[in-house]
Amino acid sequence: MKTLKIIKKLFLLIFILFFIVQNANAANRSLSLALLYTNDIHGAIDASFAYYLNPEFPPKTGNLASIKTILNNYKTLIGSDTYLLLDAGDFFQGTPLSNLSKGEAVIDIFNELGYTAVCPGNHDFDMGFDNLKNLAKILKANLLCCNIFEEAANTIPEIFKPYIIQQIENLKIGIIGVITDDMPRLSSGQNIKGLKFINSAQAVSKYVDILKIIEKCDIIIVLSHLGFEEDKILASKVKGIDIIIGGHSHTGVRKIYNDPENHTLITQAFSKGGTLGNLTLIIDLDAKKILNFKHELISLFSDQFPPDKKILERIKYWKDKYEKGFDDVIGYTKYNLQKSSLESNLGNLICDALMHRYGVDVAFQNSGGIRAEIKKGNITLRDIFNVLPFDNEVMLLKMTGAELAEALEVSVLGTHGILQVGGVEMVFNPNAPRYKKVKSAKVKGQPIDKDKIYTVATNSYLIESEGATYAVFKGAQYIENTHDVLRDVVIDYIRQKKNIEVEIEGRIKTE
């Protein structure tokens, strides 16, 4: 009898302990969710080199093929229960492969990796909205943007969703997409014809309210192509955003930014596909709250993350299709050809090619259109495609000296990259008042005559841009589109010269 009582007490104790353990487990149910993200890939799906780490001996990165390796082994390499793969825009336009395939090669690899959502960037419109529509048809991921509208219908175009909701366990996660308000200035008018871009903060605020109040979402993520500083402004203006995964400014956010007022986490992962961002959230599934997080930018070194063979095979398929002859040597450069926020020898080379081809008085090239640099040594077709990935055409103008002087003042306003020049020598004071910064300017050694007519060569972006920044070029007395692609003009020039020895010549000086 006594033994039976002891057994009953033991069973009761075991039951109580079991009950306590079960309740403890129930009270601490959690999920680790990795938000894996890229931005500003610019078509760099293939392996590349991290020159920013070591210009002389850059380590090799596996880019998207290395991302696939991480995804295949995410539980070991990331340590999360599950993940979402996201991209914050400018996914195509920037490499020969992406340009010649009109983005299709990039979308094919995106589909292989299984992206959940992508927002567009300004350069994703560089081949026109119709081309982006075609890419959207084959993209398996959701293409998100809440602030692009068709002017005629005043509705969001069919290819975009303003947001999606991902159900993971008992969590509802809302993801909104948004693009920079600055599209009219950043994109050629033809490429965004029929579209309007509404205020990003107002649009995001609208959909945050919908996701919070109507859809009852627990976590809200914004995929943003606004730029890091603009993301900070967005976070301060709009309450309710938990996370902003950004793009556009190519910022590497190693220490995550936490908005001091609304506690929005903001991050971004450099550019050109050599880095994968990882923001792993530890979430209480009962309280439906973020308990903690881990944040890192993963450099996709090939020796650390061996590229996935299937992705390499797909990339080879596209390269064989579009890149025949791209590594043929067309010339030799004695010096590194570099970009700069002031005069650059690479800018000088482009302007010299224009001067040589068209015999004009002056040549202009926007610094922002120069997208890569060339190491001293052999120059290949691939190098020039990387430097000038956009299919801008050469435009010939006749401008008065007064218009030319205004163009130079616009060039040094400091609101955008300076204009590289040919045929011009100018001195400016960056601290002087707006439109009074240029202290001296000469064309072919002579002071600019405001009444004289000068011939000018530049690219179609400066003419067709819808913003007010380069409006001075639209007012030129005469404009002719040669339909010569600027990149081809530079290639022909290098082939003719063979040996390139262009240096900094003092075309642009500061006082």
Residues of the chain falling short of pLDDT 50: 1, 4, 17, 19-26
Domain boundary among 306, 321, 336: 321
Question: What is the reported pLDDT for 7?
Answer: 53
Question: What is the reported pLDDT for 26?
Answer: 45
- Is 24 a member of any domain? no
- Is 22 a member of any domain? no
Are 186 and 270 in the same domain? yes
Are 180 and 80 in the same domain? yes
Are 345 and 419 in the same domain? yes
Residue with tokens 């799906």: 45
Are 45 and 174 in the same domain? yes
Are 332 and 253 in the same domain? no
Domain boundary among 278, 301, 321: 321
CATH number of the CATH domain containing 453: 3.90.780.10
Are 359 and 444 in the same domain? yes
- Is 9 a member of any domain? no
Are 205 and 267 in the same domain? yes
Are 290 and 346 in the same domain? no
Q: Is 498 exposed, middle or buried (0-12, 13-18, 19+ CB in 10 A)?
A: exposed
CATH number of the CATH domain containing 198: 3.60.21.10
Residue 42 gets the label, from left (phi > 0), alpha (psi -120 to 50) or beta, of left
Range of the domain at 89: 29-321
- Is 294 a member of any domain? yes
Structural domains counted in the chain: 2
Question: What is the reported pLDDT for 478?
Answer: 75
d(CA 37, CA 86): 5
Are 178 and 94 in the same domain? yes
- Is 147 a member of any domain? yes
Question: What is the reported pLDDT for 331?
Answer: 98
Output the pTM of the full model. 0.81
Domain boundary among 272, 300, 321: 321
Task: Find all residues with CB under 8 Å of 437, minimum gap 6, and list them.
Answer: 409, 412, 413, 428, 429, 430
Are 314 and 374 in the same domain? no
- Is 127 a member of any domain? yes
Average pLDDT, the chain: 92
Are 271 and 368 in the same domain? no
